[in-house]
A and B are shown apart, each in its own frame.
Chain A
């Protein structure tokens, strides 16, 4: 009875099991991971890359890497979901930093750019009240909160943050550092 409950209960253990089946060569297990995570992954990738085609490319590459690296995932060392999203963010940031830089203007006109961007406050309101991040972000000064949120969700670099928020590069760096120290203390 207990075992049955345990199996049905946690999505995290489902992911762990799916990844270990992937490591054994079971493709249907990869599909399980895809069905459960790909829609959210596409949303995360869209925030970083803004273009559907690029976001899909990032998710595509991520699933091939999950398949290849599944046997290196160790549930003792970390959470399956955070392992999956680390691969996704890595891939998306590489696309963003490398390839998107060379975009020509006619390519990105239909993207709408800044207008479609979510600002930091909207994102904060959407954070769960049961998590710790929201309360800890609320304790930051708004400008610092904005800088660190935009860095994470839109993948803005120090230089892009400085341009966007209209402050010198050194100020951005110190805002981020202070925000990190405060978040670490608050979330410990």
Chain B
């Protein structure tokens, strides 16, 4: 990797922009490479001026009390560094040196922790993958017959809505997502959205969505439709299709 590449990796690590492979790469370099550590440190200090622009919010006593309670659960620090001289003076059995070696147990402990971490990451990855596989996908088309949003439903009843392009929500309004569990029946609200960004909604209280189910989005007051039915204009709609 070139120096410029490393600089970018260091800066994007500090910004929190890295994902996937690059994120792992940055974490490995940060643990092992002094040049990279120095780059990261420099970027942290460059960006730290932004931290000073944040509001100062008095945290209140309850937070400190929770932290203190957390400290009480930590092992006492002074107990952590004994050993060494005793190990040298008692060479009774061949593996005694190893048994008493802090370095050995440190390495052993680290290896164990690393194995557990890898296992956890692996499990997490597959769990995430399984829960991330959508059941149904609906592309909601706007009046101009352009895709305006993508809606995906998941096995656990969550629904992810991703607005596309330059969807604008009129000032002082929200958009409300509706679905029609039965074609002839009234629409049911899935959720109210205030910002044009990916959000999760909840379908768990509704019948399990099926292929060809209609989804629609209407413009509503900030607190959502006052009547429980769409009151504003429908700005996009589409039917769900099974995801393969």
A-B interface contact total, Cβ < 8 Å: 162
Asked whether any CB of chain B lies closer than 8 Å to the CB of A56, the reply is yes
**By DSSP majority rule, is chain A's interface helix, strand, loop, or mixed?**
helix
B200–A67 contact, CB under 8 A? no
Contact A106 B191 (CB under 8 A): yes
Tell me the complex Cα distance, A180–B46, Å.
Answer: 11
Determine if A25 and B201 form an interchain contact, defined as CB atoms under 8 angstroms apart. no
A126-B53 contact given A31-B64, A85-B44, CB 8 Å threshold: yes
Q: Does B136 contact A (CB under 8 A)?
A: no
What is the minimal beta-carbon distance from B75 to any residue of chain A, in angstroms?
10
Q: Which of A102, A149, A187 contacts B158 (CB 8 A)?
A: A102
Cβ contacts under 8 Å, B66 to chain A: 60
The answer to whether residues A39 and B57 also contact, given A77-B41, A102-B158 and a CB cut-off of 8 A, is: yes
Interface size class of B (residues with CB under 8 A): 35 or more
Q: Count contacts on A: residues with CB < 8 A to the other chain.
A: 72
Contact at A40–B12, with CB atoms within 8 Å? Answer: no
Pairwise interchain contact B70-A151, C-beta atoms closer than 8 A: no
Given contacts A25-B76, A149-B50, A177-B8, 5 further A-B contacts (CB under 8 A): A56-B59, A77-B37, A82-B41, A104-B200, A163-B197
Contact surface of A with B, Cβ cutoff 8 Å = 23-25, 27, 30-31, 34, 38-40, 42-44, 46-47, 56, 59-60, 63-64, 67-68, 77-79, 81-82, 85-86, 89, 93, 97, 101-106, 108-109, 112-115, 123, 126-128, 131-134, 148-149, 151-153, 155, 157-160, 163-164, 166, 176-177, 180-181, 183-184, 187
